Structure 1
């Protein structure tokens, strides 16, 4: 047990060292708004930078990308808090967090922002099948990371809920968690395959069953 803990500690140290090769920079371009002010008071730029780094390490571990050569070639991850609609979005390695969302959120805004940043940072690092993967799967993987990191909000669907496997976000995240229970490391293997393209057949290649059969069995388990 002690050896296992020591090995995990060594891995985290190694991952932290590689994280040092990536720069993380958060800025607040909406400090003069209600949401921007709330961000400064409840979250802060120093904490946001810390989350970007911690989330990146967690994502690399989740995707089994301990070797930097296995990851997307990203040198810097940026976050801007801006006066925009929605909650947040990511383009390449740039994350935008909505000050309006922060200002209107009712609840523990620091925890919510942390979860949103885990989701958005996943978009920075995940493979998208060379643009061939459907958006529901892409968003589901990002929410899967948020789920495994312990930042799933209470309003998410329960396991087994949802209309289709690629519905996206929490529905797909719960399904991916089920798939990962069948073969630990499934999401890492799926993400790795998505580096060069995408087909639904990846599910069968990894788990021996097509995705529709897996979805039906998942629904039946929680019926």
Structure 2
């Protein structure tokens, strides 16, 4: 599948080129493995770099409302490393470096190009999102990243359906679906929540933005889908 957000963010990318100094660099250190070879054939470094830049522009404009570089985290470069020694996860992010698991790429049974695109949208969100100075719980942090993946159009078919899940902060697709519901109540909710998390975090942020506590919002969400 082609990058469906490319046309929508082309103008923003041109702006970023002139006003920002963010660079994107993908490398494959697993070329001698099955997963590394599949990455080269099905994805490629040029496409991966395009995904990193397009994902960043999508996050700034459509997810976090950070059209000015001054509003964003001070990141000068986003790096992707395809590595052979990663197991148990598709990818992980530390600061501005994303590590993609070559074994995951090699073992994935579906459209690996689309899957890698979605994974990179998720991981690029980790580069740019605020985490409450480390105080936001992990489920919310991962949920925000999957919310971006969802809004970009790269939610896999195996994700939970709206209304499913046990807790609002269960993480990943469960929390992403809940955040999407909150965003429907007040468009731009996730952008406002992310902005508040620059300096710290409390669950009271939900009430401050939406007028209801997060547990009540979760109950409303479940009732909305009769789940």
Shorter-chain TM range is: over 0.9
Aligned equivalents of 1:49, 1:41: Cα separation in 2: 15
Question: What residue number does 1:114 align with?
Answer: 117
Question: What residue number does 2:170 align with?
Answer: 167
Question: What residue number does 1:142 align with?
Answer: 145
Deviation at 1:14?
4.0
Deviation at 1:15?
4.5
Contact 1:160 1:222 in 2 (8 A): yes
Q: Describe how 1:39-50 pairs up with structure 2 within 5 A.
A: 39-50=39-50
Q: Deviations over 1:115-154 (max 9, x none)?
A: 0000000000000000000000000000000000000000
Q: Determine which of 210, 216, 220 is the counterpart of 1:213.
A: 216
Aligned equivalents of 1:12, 1:64: Cα separation in 2: 16
The answer as to 2:79 corresponding to 1:78 is yes
Q: Deviations over 1:45-77 (max 9, x none)?
A: 000000000000000011000010000000000
The answer as to 2:209 corresponding to 1:199 is no
Aligned equivalents of 2:41, 2:10: Cα separation in 1: 30
The answer as to 2:124 corresponding to 1:126 is no
Report the RMSD for the aligned CA atoms in angstroms.
1.3
SS at match of 1:171: helix
What runs of 5+ residues in structure 2 fail to find an aligned partner? Answer: 1-6
Aligned equivalents of 1:139, 1:60: Cα separation in 2: 17
Question: What residue number does 2:3 align with?
Answer: none
Q: Describe how 1:5-84 pairs up with structure 2 within 5 A.
A: 13-19=11-17, 21-61=21-61, 62-83=63-84, 84=86
Deviation at 1:13?
1.8
Contact 1:127 1:192 in 2 (8 A): yes
Contact 1:140 1:171 in 2 (8 A): yes
SS at match of 2:136: coil
Question: What residue number does 2:90 align with?
Answer: 87
Question: What residue number does 1:151 align with?
Answer: 154
CA shift in 2, pair 1:14/1:41, >3 Å = closer
Contact 2:13 2:54 in 1 (8 A): no
After TM superposition, what 4+ stretches of structure 1 lie above 2 angstroms from structure 2? 14-17
Aligned equivalents of 2:14, 2:93: Cα separation in 1: 23
- The alignment covers a number of residue pairs equal to 215
SS at match of 2:133: helix
Deviation at 1:18?
1.3
SS at match of 2:200: coil
Deviation at 1:16?
3.2
Using the size of structure 1 for normalisation, the TM-score is 0.94
